[in-house]
């Protein structure tokens, strides 16, 4: 750093033998600080000696003296910009030196916090720091403003990067280990701290117009210091609450600006990365994604991020980073561990746990390239690298698989060409990775049969159980203009007023009051499944039944077996089902990766066992029970031509969906079209407890 003026340096004089005790203490303290400054990256001996000396003195006056040059009144922001630059430089240097000494003293005290004497003195110093903290924040703000103005005018004796780095390091010392030092939480709980973290995050170079990227070290292996500060700050429940409160109560324009800065930052991190710093970029991306996930816990902030299309932009940036690392031939296991964890954060946390409607948000993630990211990452990693499946690309694909049947997901995958279907293009790190990629490939390939090959197949989506047989239903998109939804519960659809009136008298007048309550509860958190989702489930099941089930006579089995229902937390709760229906009746289940993590078809179970396990506990509670019982009576009356099927789908982390269908079998129908939908209904349900199924009924 160049200075507007230079001074002469003299040798330090030792105190004379008869010097006052205060001078001796001052010189010894200065010596210890200089020694600790020189050894900051070495052993802790110097820090411990400094901490013990300060604690033995037990005087916080020196600590207060460090804070005077960085008080609010001394802030560079309050200086006249046209003042003598020498005066400004001296003020900045004095504050810079004071804050560096402050960091050394604090670090020494924190390192020795396990010593009772040091712990007591550290708490005293933190109480003083709490009183001065708003003034220190004011001084650091002034440093950022002054350095930005100087840089814009071409004056370089203090750069914005240096000012931002100094402020970030100061915050880092306060944030590290906050759970150990309760008084640190008071500093983090101050609104001025949250405001300054936001200000630091939004610092932009006046000339390049890009955010500052400050790696912790020059090795190119460490994350950006500013992003690390944000991640550490948002990890604490105390500071998380303060940050959310500040952003929720801020003006809409302010909130949008902050969200925009965060979203743009993650794109810049990737675009500016190269072979020299790609490991740092991967670690920074991971840290910023994890910090973003904490913002998204608030629904107001989720909506603000959604307006910036953050899911597509975050995923696209991660795809670019992954592709860049792959083409550069980077084999560093830590880089791929960071990318794998980022994939898991996007899918497991942001999409599955925080999104109110994963089915609506996943197409954007597919469009951004999340499948390709996972495939590439699995080709560079193995589960043995992590020891567990959690927080890996493997588990991300497991979480994605139950949603891949959706039409918009399939369209997004097709829009990326064949890149999302390139399972055989890359060798996978282990068998588990190969298996999960094959499973995803199979589901996406099945989408071609459902949405392209069978696009013109008509399916009845009318919920009237007496819908006219001559009305075949609608093709893929025909339902948009013809189906009408019950305006109270939004749970059933009809093709005409006549069908609606007929079903109202038979069933829906009793169902609607209960279903309306469910609708408004799910509408509030935006998790209500759309008609499109129900259409996708119906078409997927219709295609699966026709393409994967044998003819109906081969599915009839007179065997009666017992299924047990067990609460995972209480093994003694297993109960035997009752035989309420004829033993020859059965039901086929299609599990879309919900209970077993893989797509399973042609699981045929005795109706008695399935009903008692799945629907029996709901007797008297579920409004759908009368419809189910009517379906069963229809099957009893025409067992050679009726097939009952239930499909299990994932809606979000808290709810599943079940689609119950009555199919009519026509042995004279064309191959792939012998089963047609007669009637159906779909409903949301909590994830089912453990089902101790016997082996499915075997074909005779």
For the ranges 138-152, 454-468, 514-528, 541-555, the lowest mean pLDDT is seen at 138-152
Of 615, 607, 613, nearest in space to 632 by CA: 607
Confidence of residue 139 (pLDDT cuts 50, 70, 90): confident
CB 175 within 8 Å of CB 233: yes
Confidence of residue 572 (pLDDT cuts 50, 70, 90): very low
pLDDT at 566: 40
For the ranges 94-103, 291-300, 367-376, the lowest mean pLDDT is seen at 94-103
pLDDT(565) > 70: no
pLDDT(151) > 50: yes
Confidence of residue 340 (pLDDT cuts 50, 70, 90): very high
pLDDT at 128: 92
Segment 353-359 shows an average pLDDT of 91
Segment 226-231 shows an average pLDDT of 94
How confident is the model over 640-657, as pLDDT tens digits? 899 999 999 998 888 889
Instruction: Give CA 402 to chain center in angstroms.
Output: 17
Give percent of the chain with pLDDT exceeding 90: 39
pLDDT at 161: 66
pLDDT(427) > 70: no
pLDDT at 148: 74
Check residues 447 and 159 and name the one with the higher pLDDT.
447
pLDDT at 430: 65
pLDDT at 78: 52
Segment 540-544 shows an average pLDDT of 93
Q: What is the largest CA-CA distance in the chain?
A: 116
How confident is the model over 442-473, as pLDDT tens digits? 888 889 889 998 888 888 899 999 888 877 77
pLDDT(392) > 90: no
How confident is the model over 584-602, as pLDDT tens digits? 788 888 988 777 656 666 5
Which of 2-6, 243-247, 568-572, 574-578 is modeled with the greatest confidence? 243-247
DSSP β-ladder status, 586-592 and 493-494:
unpaired
For the ranges 20-24, 121-125, 530-534, the lowest mean pLDDT is seen at 20-24
pLDDT at 562: 41
- Tell me how far apart the alpha carbons of residues 144 and 203 are, in angstroms, rounded to a whole number: 8
Confidence of residue 498 (pLDDT cuts 50, 70, 90): very high
pLDDT(184) > 60: yes
pLDDT at 631: 93
Confidence of residue 624 (pLDDT cuts 50, 70, 90): very high
pLDDT at 679: 92
pLDDT at 7: 39
pLDDT(384) > 60: no
- Tell me how far apart the alpha carbons of residues 570 and 575 are, in angstroms, rounded to a whole number: 12
CB 44 within 8 Å of CB 111: yes
pLDDT at 301: 94
pLDDT at 82: 53
Segment 611-622 shows an average pLDDT of 70
Segment 304-330 shows an average pLDDT of 95
pLDDT at 574: 37
How confident is the model over 408-426, as pLDDT tens digits? 999 998 888 755 444 445 5
List residues bridging with 677 in a β-sheet: 663
CA triple 611-616-620, angle to 5 deg: 130
- Tell me how far apart the alpha carbons of residues 588 and 605 are, in angstroms, rounded to a whole number: 6
Confidence of residue 222 (pLDDT cuts 50, 70, 90): confident
Confidence of residue 2 (pLDDT cuts 50, 70, 90): very low
Give percent of the chain with pLDDT exceeding 70: 79
> What is the chain's mean pLDDT, rounded?
81
pLDDT(181) > 90: no
Buried b (16+ CB within 10 A) or exposed e, 48-57: bbbbbbbbee
The pTM of the full predicted model, rounded to 2 decimals, is: 0.84
- Tell me how far apart the alpha carbons of residues 612 and 623 are, in angstroms, rounded to a whole number: 16
pLDDT at 213: 87
Instruction: Give CA 365 to chain center in angstroms.
Output: 12
CB 522 within 8 Å of CB 528: yes
pLDDT at 692: 36
Segment 216-237 shows an average pLDDT of 86
Confidence of residue 56 (pLDDT cuts 50, 70, 90): confident
For the ranges 381-385, 500-504, 507-511, the lowest mean pLDDT is seen at 381-385
pLDDT(219) > 80: no
Of 611, 589, 575, nearest in space to 692 by CA: 575
- Tell me how far apart the alpha carbons of residues 61 and 52 are, in angstroms, rounded to a whole number: 16
| DSSP per position, 555-593 | G--------EEEETTEEEEEEEPP--S-TT-EEEEEEES
């Amino acid at each position: 750093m160049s200075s507007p003026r230079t001074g002469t340096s003299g040798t330090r004089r030792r105190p004379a033998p008869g010097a006052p005790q205060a001078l001796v203490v001052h010189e010894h303290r200065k010596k210890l600080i200089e020694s600790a400054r020189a050894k900051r990256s070495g052993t802790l001996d110097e820090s411990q000696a400094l901490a013990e000396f300060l604690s033995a003195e037990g005087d916080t006056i020196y600590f207060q003296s460090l804070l005077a040059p960085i008080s609010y009144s001394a802030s560079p922001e309050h200086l006249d910009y046209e003042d003598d630059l020498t005066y400004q430089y001296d003020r900045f240097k004095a504050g810079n030196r004071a804050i560096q000494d402050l960091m050394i003293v604090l670090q020494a005290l924190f390192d020795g916090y396990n010593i009772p004497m040091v712990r007591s003195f550290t708490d005293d110093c933190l109480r003083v720091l709490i009183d001065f903290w708003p003034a220190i924040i004011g001084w650091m703000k002034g440093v950022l403003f002054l350095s930005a103005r100087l840089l814009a005018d071409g004056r370089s004796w203090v750069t914005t990067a240096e000012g931002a780095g100094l402020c970030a390091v100061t915050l880092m010392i306060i944030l590290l280990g906050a759970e150990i030092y309760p008084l640190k939480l008071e500093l983090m709980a101050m609104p001025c701290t949250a405001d300054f973290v936001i200000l630091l995050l939004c610092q932009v170079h006046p000339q390049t117009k890009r955010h500052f990227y400050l790696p912790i070290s020059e090795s190119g292996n460490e994350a950006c210091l500013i992003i690390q500060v944000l991640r550490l700050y948002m990890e604490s429940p105390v500071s998380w609450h303060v940050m959310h409160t500040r952003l929720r109560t801020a003006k809409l324009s302010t909130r949008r600006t902050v969200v925009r800065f965060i979203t743009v930052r993650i794109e810049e991190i990737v675009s500016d990365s190269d072979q020299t710093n790609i490991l740092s970029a991967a670690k920074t991306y991971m840290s910023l994604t994890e910090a973003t996930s904490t913002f998204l816990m608030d629904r107001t902030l989720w909506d603000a991020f959604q307006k910036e299309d953050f899911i597509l932009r975050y995923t696209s940036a991660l795809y670019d980073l992954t592709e860049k690392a792959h083409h550069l031939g980077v084999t560093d296991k830590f880089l791929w561990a960071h990318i794998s964890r980022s994939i898991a954060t996007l899918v497991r946390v942001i999409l599955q746990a925080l999104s109110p409607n994963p089915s609506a948000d996943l197409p954007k993630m597919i469009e951004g390239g999340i499948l390709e990211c996972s495939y590439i990452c699995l080709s560079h990693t193995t589960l043995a690298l992590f020891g567990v499946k959690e927080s890996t690309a493997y588990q991300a694909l497991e979480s994605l698989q139950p949603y891949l049947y959706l039409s918009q997901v399939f369209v997004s995958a097709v829009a990326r060409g064949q890149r999302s279907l390139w399972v055989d293009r890359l060798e996978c790190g282990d068998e588990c990775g190969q298996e999960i990629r094959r499973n995803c490939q199979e589901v996406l390939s099945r989408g071609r049969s459902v949405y392209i090959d069978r696009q013109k197949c008509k399916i009845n989506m009318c919920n009237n159980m007496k819908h006219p047989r001559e009305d075949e239903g609608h093709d893929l998109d025909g339902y948009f203009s013809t189906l009408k939804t019950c305006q109270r519960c939004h749970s059933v659809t009809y093709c005409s007023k006549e069908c609606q009136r007929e079903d109202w008298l038979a069933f829906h007048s009793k169902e609607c009051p209960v279903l309306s309550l469910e609708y408004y509860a799910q509408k509030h958190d935006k998790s209500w499944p759309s008609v499109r989702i129900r259409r996708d489930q119906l078409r997927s099941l219709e295609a699966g039944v026709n393409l994967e089930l044998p003819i109906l006579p081969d599915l009839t089995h007179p065997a009666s077996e017992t299924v047990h229902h067990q609460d995972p937390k209480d093994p003694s709760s297993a109960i035997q089902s009752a035989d309420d229906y004829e033993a020859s009746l059965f039901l086929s289940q299609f599990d879309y990766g919900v209970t077993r993590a893989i797509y399973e078809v042609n699981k045929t179970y005795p109706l008695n066992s399935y009903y008692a396990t799945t629907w029996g506990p709901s007797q008297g509670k579920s409004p759908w029970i009368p419809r189910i019982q009517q379906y069963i009576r229809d099957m009893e009356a025409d067992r050679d031509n009726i097939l009952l099927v239930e499909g299990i789908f994932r809606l979000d982390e808290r709810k599943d969906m079940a689609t119950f269908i009555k199919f009519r079998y026509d042995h004279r129908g064309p191959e792939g079209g012998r089963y047609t939908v007669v009637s159906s209904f779909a409903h949301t349900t909590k994830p089912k407890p453990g089902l101790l199924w016997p082996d499915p009924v075997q074909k005779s």
